[in-house]
Chain A
Amino acid sequence: MMILQTDRLSISFGGVRAVDGVNIAVESGQVFSIIGPNGSGKTTLFNLMSGIYIPTDGGIRLAGETVTGVAPDQLSRRGLSRTFQNLQIFSRMSVLENVMVGRHRHERTGIMADLLHLPSVARQNEATREAARAALARVGLAEAADRPASSLAYGALKRLEIARALASEPKLLLLDEPAAGCNPVETQEIDRVIRSIVKDGITVVLVEHDMRLVMNISDRVHVLSSGRTLAEGTPEQVRSNAAVIEVYLGVHGSQEADRAFD
């Protein structure tokens, strides 16, 4: 089953087509990576898929239903979640509270119940806290639960965003450069986390510059250049694609390409 499809998806900013006629079909249960040089439209594509931008042309289907123009909070309720390249942490809250916000779509209390702290709210808080702790444990941050989020190191914040997104129990998770700025050990940890997410049946769409991670973990790789599709295929197919090598290195040479992709 296709969980996410885009149909000639396009968006223009002041005449510049940042994403131009991109067709993507993500099979349920896969790791689907989107790569491309800086400015090729990867993050813009993510913003379109998560409802933050509204496409100028084309459409998006989530689990077979058309969701073009649907707001991000509604998409979240339909099982889509994401992380951000430039971290969007709730920095005034604790690590655990950050992840608790991820449970928002599952929480069922009214404003009057919240103001009066009815027993239903107490039960809800407890359930939310438990689920949030479990999500933190999955990314190896259980120990840090009660620390202020602002006190975590960069690599840990990356994992915190993943835990927060996981807490919403998505069917589809968009990860925007989860390994950017991470050292090799932290990248290894991200690799492990993504594999465990997929094992749970969650589909992962990944934007990433770390080629070793992408080539290791992806079922399919989609290459963008200047907002257009350059190539798509298995990691092996993409690795040996002449157009891809040219865009990445600006030279014809398989040796340099091998080095870049290893």
Chain B
Amino acid sequence: MRLLPAIAIAAILVILPYFFPSAYYYRIGALVFIFALAVVGLNLLMGFAGQVSLGHAGFLGIGAYSVVIGPVYFGLPSWLSLFAGAALSGVIAFLVGRPILRLKGHYLAVATLGFGLLVAIVLTNEAGWTGGPDGLSVPRLTLFGWQVRGSNAWYWITGATLVAGFVLALNLMSSPTGRALQAIHDSEIAALVLGVDVARKKLTVFTISAVYASVAGSYLALFNGHVTPDVAGFLRSIELVAMVVLGGMGSIVGSLVGAAVLVVLPQALTIFHEYEQAMLGLIVMVFMIFLRRGIVPSLAAAFAGWRK
């Protein structure tokens, strides 16, 4: 069934808190869901359509700053600013995507990288609006007169949004557009002679993935209560790509697994003190060597083989 992964994830999400020893775990859960949302979007672009982006944190940044600039400078409610940021990210992706999605492979990677750097530099330099390198504090989200506080509330808000993001992504995959995107991944030329408007389809999925990243960025800013240009930095973009590849290219469930591993592991590895980052790198390498197609597709294939 098409939506089975989304239903399974929703069930896990609801059950999980019963095993949480402290509120700290809600916080980790919310962070995982926020990153997973951005990763699902990026996976549509990379895993399905086969187009790489090394600048997706740029859209994370646009989303993050929109929930500061909207309320502080224009007096908009935070939730409306989130939607405005998503719309802005979509428009920017559409305009930027038109010229750069003509590029292929490494050339596309470098062009998207440039876009991400550009956003980060603008956020750093336009200090009058963004507070510069020190960033800004983010006004709290208020929904229906209720001010959202506490990791507990954020766990449910981000979890529900993630499930919605899953449903949309799964719908897209089993639609005419989704089939065309997968076809583009395998053979652009064959897709083209079968009537697929390749350039337009690439632009569509790039725009969708930018909106996912933007919403995730807004949540990240609202959840942390503070935002700096690092949110749009190169390392963030690389982290998103690593989550996609680690979880599994083209696997929607893998997006959550990839995000979970790269959010939870650093927390668990603090026992290694100054070697924390080194251990993280080592573990990721081991994962990729033994589960080269990504965690979820590799384990699924192993399980299918074992059942036979």
Interface residues of A (CB under 8 A from B): 50-52, 71-73, 75-77, 81-82, 84, 88-93, 97, 100-102, 104-105, 107, 109, 111, 113-117, 121, 124-125, 128, 164-165, 168
Within 8 A of A (CB), among B112-134: none
Closest to A102 in B: B194
Given contacts A90-B183, A90-B187, contact A104 B196 (CB under 8 A): yes
* The one of B174, B183, B191, B208 that contacts A125, using a Cβ cutoff of 8 Å: B174
Chain B, residue nearest A116 (CB): B171
**Cβ of B190: which chain A residues have Cβ within 8 Å of it?**
84, 88-90, 101, 164
Chain B interface helix/strand/loop/mixed: helix
CB pair B186–A73 under 8 Å, yes or no, is no
CB distance from B164 to the nearest CB of A (A): 11
Nearest-neighbor residue (CB-CB) of A101 within chain B:
B183
B165-220 interface with A by 8 A CB criterion: 168, 171-172, 174-180, 182-183, 185-187, 189-198, 204, 208
Question: A107 to B175, alpha carbons, bound, how many Å?
Answer: 10
Q: Which residue of chain A lies nearest to B176 when distances are taken between CB atoms in the complex? A: A107
Contact assessment for B172 and A164 in the assembled complex, using a CB-CB cutoff below 8 Å: no
What are 30 A-B contacts with C-beta separation under 8 Å? Answer: A51-B193, A52-B189, A52-B193, A71-B192, A72-B189, A73-B193, A73-B196, A76-B194, A88-B187, A88-B190, A89-B190, A90-B182, A90-B183, A90-B185, A90-B187, A90-B191, A97-B182, A101-B179, A101-B190, A101-B191, A104-B195, A109-B176, A111-B208, A114-B172, A114-B175, A115-B171, A117-B174, A117-B175, A121-B171, A124-B176
The 5 nearest A-B residue pairs measured at CB: A105-B195, A114-B175, A76-B195, A88-B190, A117-B171
Contact yes or no, A73 B192, CB < 8 A: yes
Tell me how far the C-beta of B210 lies from the nearest C-beta in chain A, rounded to whole angstroms.
14
- The yes or no answer to B250 lying at the interface (CB within 8 A) is yes
Most B C-beta atoms less than 10 A away, residue of A50, A113, A115: A115
Chain B residues closer than 8 Å to A111, beta-carbon distance: 177, 204, 208
List 9 additional A-B contacts (Cβ < 8 Å) besides A76-B194, A128-B176: A76-B193, A77-B195, A90-B187, A92-B186, A104-B191, A113-B175, A115-B172, A117-B174, A165-B194
Contact B250 A104 (CB under 8 A): no
Closest to B168 in A: A115
Complex interface: chain A residues within 8 A of B307 (CB): none
